[in-house]
Amino acid sequence: MNYQKKAICNVKLHNRISTISLPQLRCAVVAADEGSFRRAAEVLLVRQSTLSRGIRQLEHLIGISIFDRSSGGVTATTSGRGFLRHARSILEQIDSLITTADRTSRGEAGQLSIGFRASLSAGNLRATLLDFRQRIPSVELGLIEMSQTRLLMTALRTGMIDIAIITGEALQSNGVTLPLWSERILLALAESHSLAAQETIYWTDLRGETLLLSQLEQGRELEDILISKLVSSEGRPRIERHDVSGDTIKSLVSLGFGIGLVTESDMGTNFSRLIYRELRDGTGPSRIGYSAHWRAENDNPALASFLALLRERYPSAAS
């Protein structure tokens, strides 16, 4: 019997609470701030009779008097002060929720996951991320670094990331591609290497050398460029592929184990006894392009903001 009475009381309490409206809470809080129903009505742009009636209904619902009324205005009762403190907190949370939702819908808040296969030590990707963070600091960035195949075929397809920034212009089904920037391809050499004395190095100078490539990073893209520059296998360097990072490749190069291919953004990481030289062919410096890839159906507003920044920073590529 006691359990049934308690359940009935809880239902009645719930029904009373559910009838309390946010305008009633706001009227009470503003009236307390202004110390007057008349001034509160002016602030809220409502009739004083409407505000007064709403507060009376609120007092009836919660079962206490929120205000002591007098000809000089209103003051909160002891019980009313406690209620108003909680009411103010509720309104602040609601206002914050609405503001956050509005900013998220406009791409000024929320989350954005970026997959990449490029160095962050220097270069355009580093500058782009810094620019985006400074412009829209409320968007939480999640960065995922993995191979280009996994970025396009797994992470992007499954929604693990919103956008992938990679070398080349590879297309995937149901995706959109935006060309971005390009970087010079450089030759990484130990200071003691015989080619270090040359300011300019041509692809044909690599014949007979040992080229170290990473299987984890953009080694395959660089190898494809090497093959396009040196069509005959006899004119190519001997290739050693290692299951290590690009930084480890540069460490091996600095120790004299061979030479390496890097892009300009890789120069942000310093290694002792390691130098860089520009690689050229008959037309000039060799370059590798970067592009952004995302799913056409992705409606994340933060992604739209990031794409707008990319188009602004790299307008010639975007056009």
Question: Rounded mean pLDDT of 153-163?
Answer: 89
Asked if 163 and 306 sit in the same domain, the reply is yes
Q: Looking at per-residue confidence, does 40 or 120 come out higher?
A: 40
- pLDDT for 59: 92
pLDDT at 308 over 90: yes
Check residue 45 and give its pLDDT.
Answer: 93
Same domain (yes/no): 69, 151: no
Q: In the predicted model, what is the mean pLDDT of residues 7-31?
A: 72
Same domain membership, residue 50 and residue 21: yes
In a domain, residue 192? The reply is yes
- 168 and 202 inside one domain: no
Does position 56 have pLDDT exceeding 80, yes or no? Answer: yes
Q: How far apart are CA 198 and CA 158, in angstroms?
A: 47
Residue 81 lies in a domain: yes
The reply to whether 136 falls in a domain is yes
Domain shared by 52 and 15, yes or no = yes
Going by C-alpha positions, the residue among 185, 161, 188, 187 that lies closest to residue 175 is 161
- Residue 219 — very low, low, confident or very high, per pLDDT cuts 50/70/90? confident
Which CATH number does the domain housing residue 225 bear?
Answer: 3.40.190.10
Q: Residues 11, 147: one domain?
A: no
Q: Above 80 in pLDDT, residue 261? A: yes
Q: Are residues 130 and 207 in the same domain?
A: no
Residue 169: the pLDDT is 60
Residues 164, 201, single domain; the answer is no
Residues 311 and 164 in one domain: yes
Decide if pLDDT at 8 tops 60: no
Say if residue 278 is in the same domain as residue 253: yes
- Give the model's pLDDT for residue 4: 54
Answer with the one of 105, 127, 142 that is the final residue of a domain: 105
Q: Is the confidence at residue 195, as pLDDT, over 90?
A: yes
Span 155-184, average pLDDT: 82
Q: Which domain holds residue 55?
A: 2-105
Tell me the pLDDT tens digit for each residue of 240-255.
998 888 888 999 999 9
Euclidean distance between CA atoms 37 and 52, whole angstroms? 7
pLDDT, mean of residues 6-28:
68
State yes or no: pLDDT of 34 exceeds 90: yes
How many folded domains does the chain comprise?
3
Q: What is the pLDDT of residue 1?
A: 47
On whether residue 111 sits in a domain, the answer given is: no
Classify residue 13 by burial, with Cβ atoms within 10 Å: 0-12, 13-18, 19+. Answer: exposed
Question: What pLDDT shows up at residue 311?
Answer: 94
List all residues 6 or more positions away from 226 whose beta carbon is below 8 Å from its beta carbon. 203, 206, 211, 236, 237, 261
Paired sense of beta strands 200-202 and 238-242, if any: unpaired
Q: Domain boundary at 60, 77, 105, which?
A: 105
Does residue 6 register a pLDDT over 60?
A: no
